[in-house]
Chain A
Amino acid sequence: MIVLAIDTSNQPLSLAVLKDGTVMGEKLINIKRNHSLQAMSEVEALLASLDVEPASLKRIVVAKGPGSYTGVRIGVTLAKTLAWSLKIPIVGVSSLLSLAWPGKYFDGVVVPLMNARRGNVYTGLYEYRDGWQTLEEDRNVAMSDWLVHLAEREDRVFFTGADVDVFWEEIQSVLGKRAYRVSEEEAYPSAVMMAKHAEGLPDEDAHGFVPNYIRLAEAEANWLKEQEKKNG
């Protein structure tokens, strides 16, 4: 069974092709380049280099968010349209979990971070114990609140993702020596890890598959607020 995994929710593009659970090939592009331009053609190039025909794909795994709205949509649109076209299942994996892989052998909990601007982050709480476990669901939260919350736990905390840089001082000031960070060369998403993790997840239907934005669109959030005001 050949599986294609795609992550376009961060600046890096991460692709992987696995056959019966073994990595056939993977690709990471970690420079600033438009996913809408490159993602499909890089999938084509990777599959061609592995001699895999599109029709041989049996499952598509995709990072479903959170992350850059546009970035996530590009991956999800490609994945669901490929899945629908090839009549194969699609499986969504958290974009945050895709960043968690360097924490696999860490003795403690893993916290992937994505900068969501204005002091907010997309984050979640994970742990590797017989596979990846979600301790706390992905969320959009003020970094200061999240750190207070993490400080209540006793664990050592491993922070992953390229955006750790932005918050490292703040993290240290709250968690002190309990905080660890991913090294620079491992601060990128891993489609391989997503594909492995997805082996234990149920198939989803392509038509109904949508990104997990976590946040409402700004216009919608404002509109809802106004409705509440109107209704007292």
Chain B
Amino acid sequence: MTSTLPAIELEGLTKRFGSRAAVDDLSARIPVGKVTGFIGPNGAGKTTTMGMLLGLVAPTAGGGRVLGAPLDNPGAFLPRVGALVEGPAFWPGLSGSENLRSLAVLGGHDVSRVATTLEMVGLGERGGDRYGIYSLGMKQRLGIAAALLGDPELLVLDEPVNGLDPTGITEMRRLMAALAGEGRTVLVSSHLLSELEQIADWLLVIDRGRAVYQGPAAELATGAQISVQLLPASVTDFDKLLEVVAAEGHEPRRQGELVVVAANGDEPRLVSAALNRAAADAGIVLSEVRVDRPNLESYYLAMVEGGDK
């Protein structure tokens, strides 16, 4: 496993379906040995991108490398990649373990790993049951087990917690963190940042096929603006409040019934106190004064909905 080259490197990757660009000039680098959250709203191009990474979908333009091998030669890197894309798909007449054994034969993997992978995903006791009677969550777990069969360096998981109950989601997060702890690279997609916020070291956020953020997860929200929100007791005081805030040297904006003031790096509690005092001096009663500290999720939502970064 190399530690200098990125696990995945994309250069201008583009996929068009007719006139619609599902992935549009996407360039990205996914570091080795980290959990990378691949985030974007539904239809942002996540699954299409993963399809191109796995040789299932041919790019219209651009390219890249996966584990050092070119994207257009999936045979060179897929044996070292485990993947679950577009949901689990297995043979309903076979048991979970028979499905895995068959896939191990197809992939040239060690069949003796089947029991281990079933245990890893919590299906150890249900491996003998027919896949056709599995619940959605169990099917999802089997999909993860299949991805782990070849002891992969890189795991590509498309919405892996779909169908899992809260306990299953927690276990899946632990599993992904543990896999990354073993030095594997995990690329995991979701349309909800909150699902990955706790485990992702690195984020690739896309919207309408384009990257809108890539970098350490911890740095995503550092550019987010903390604001002070003021709610006048009487709506008739709204315009007057805007003037008072402007006179204090701020640039207020309306947000519904609220007057929103960016802290601009000042201590928000001091800004709140100053504005509260100024409003009172002007005879305005405020029924609410609160500090809004955006979390990662709200910052992400603002980003993909066209809000300011």
Co-assembled chains A and B:
no
Interface residues of B (CB under 8 A from A): none
Interface residues of A (CB under 8 A from B): none
